[in-house]
Amino acid sequence: MADDLKTYSAPWEGHLVLACRKCQKKLKGDPDLRSLSKLKKTVKRANREHSDKSVHIVNTPCMDLCPKGGVTVCDPRQDSDRLFILRSEEDIERLYS
C-alpha cells in the first residue's frame, strides 16, 4: 500500500466550481457584467445568503470555450464532462441549486 496517494481535506467548504480567468478578464470593462468579471467575490457574497449551500470558485487558465459576454465554468457536481456559460446573476444563482 506504499503506492497509495495521500489525501487531505480540502481547505474550503461547499462544492468546487472551476471558472475561466480569461473570460472574467474580458468582461472587466463592462459595468453591466461586473458581477461576472469578479466572479469569486460575487460568489463569496452569495455564500453569505446561502449559508446552507456554499460554492468555492477556483480561477483556471483558458478552457478554450470563449463566449462573448459570459464566463465559462466547469461544475463537476452537475456534470464534469460539460462546460457551462454564465451570462447573468441568475446563472450564478443556479450554481446553488
Distances (CA, A) of 69 to 18, 27, 83, 85: 18, 7, 15, 9
Record the pTM.
0.85
What per-residue confidence (pLDDT) applies to 90? 92
pLDDT above 90 coverage of the chain, percent:
66
- Do the Cβ atoms of 33 and 27 come closer than 8 Å? yes
CA distance 72 to 85: 5
The H or E element spanning position 4 is none
Q: What is the pLDDT of residues 47-95, one digit of tens each?
A: 998 888 899 999 999 999 999 999 999 999 888 899 999 999 999 999 8
Q: What is the pLDDT of residues 6-27, one digit of tens each?
A: 999 988 888 899 999 999 999 9
